[in-house]
């Protein structure tokens, strides 16, 4: 169905797996414990850009500069890097 499903825009989220793995995913609703608790221990988002979500996934752990979604969006805009391998 692409980035739109049931007439709603898909939003970008970062899931923190129970095993510590981080995964960027899209959902057209806010993830809850009932809907995503079996997959993720925690979820961060929604992110405005995929770039910010990927930067947070790759560089956010323990990084004081990437504590919030707004922080990630500012860093992504400042770095202006291309997203490869979405």
Question: Rounded to an integer, what distance in angstroms lies between the CA atom of residue 67 and that of residue 62?
Answer: 9
- Residue 59 in any domain: the answer is yes
* Residue 15 forms part of a structural domain: yes
Assess if residue 9 is contained within a domain. Answer: yes
Phi-psi domain of 82 (left: phi exceeds 0; alpha: psi -120 through 50; beta: other) = beta
pLDDT digit string (tens) for the chain, length 86 residues:
455 555 578 999 999 998 989 999 999 999 999 999 999 999 999 999 999 999 999 999 999 999 999 999 999 988 875 655 55
Q: Is residue 36 part of a domain?
A: yes
Count of the separate structural domains present in the chain? 1
pLDDT at position 79: 84
User: What's the distance, CA 76 to chain centroid?
Assistant: 13
- pTM of the complete model beyond 0.75: yes
Q: Does 29 map to a domain?
A: yes
Structural domain contains residue 85: no
Range of the domain at 16: 4-79
pLDDT value of position 85: 54
């Amino acid at each position: 169905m692409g980035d739109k499903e049931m007439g709603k825009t898909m939003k970008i989220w970062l899931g923190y797996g129970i095993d510590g793995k981080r995964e960027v995913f899209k959902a057209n609703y806010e993830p809850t414990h009932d809907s995503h608790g079996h997959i993720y221990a925690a979820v961060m988002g929604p992110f405005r850009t995929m770039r910010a979500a990927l930067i947070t996934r790759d560089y956010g752990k323990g990084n004081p500069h990437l504590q919030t979604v707004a922080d990630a969006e500012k860093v992504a805009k400042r770095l202006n890097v291309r997203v490869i391998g979405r």
